[in-house]
Structure 1
């Protein structure tokens, strides 16, 4: 999958496509993800995102 965003905001993925859930999984949750934007957004997933949620794109927040 190649994304050719030229200055424009890249399209976000749907919550169902990334298996988003509003509860943590295996100790991982959105508030600890590098893609989470407080208070309830994500750089890569569309819609309202719970800080306690989780999805398949989860990446540990940089220290």
Structure 2
């Protein structure tokens, strides 16, 4: 029995995260701590734009 699939963290859908492909109030994916270049996020499914934004935004320290 494989546990790899169940061990993978569940990501939010873009809809659940209120993702939008444009920045909001100067906040954008590429300045977020969850950003994984070139188009991935640790918490949101699917490709995301470097210029995008969602409610999970956390500024990189």
TM-score by length of 2: 0.88
SS of equivalent residue, structure 2 residue 7: coil
Of Structure 1 and Structure 2, the greater helix share is in 2
Matches within 5 A, 1:22-61: 22-61=21-60
Report the RMSD for the aligned CA atoms in angstroms.
Answer: 1.1
Q: Distance in 2 between matches of 1:38 and 1:59?
A: 15
Larger radius of gyration between Structure 1 and Structure 2: 2
Q: Which runs of 4+ in 1 moved over 6 A?
A: none
Q: Number of aligned residue pairs: give it.
A: 56
Q: Distance in 1 between matches of 2:59 and 2:10?
A: 22
- How far off is 1:55 after superposition? 0.1
Matches within 5 A, 1:3-18: 8-18=7-17
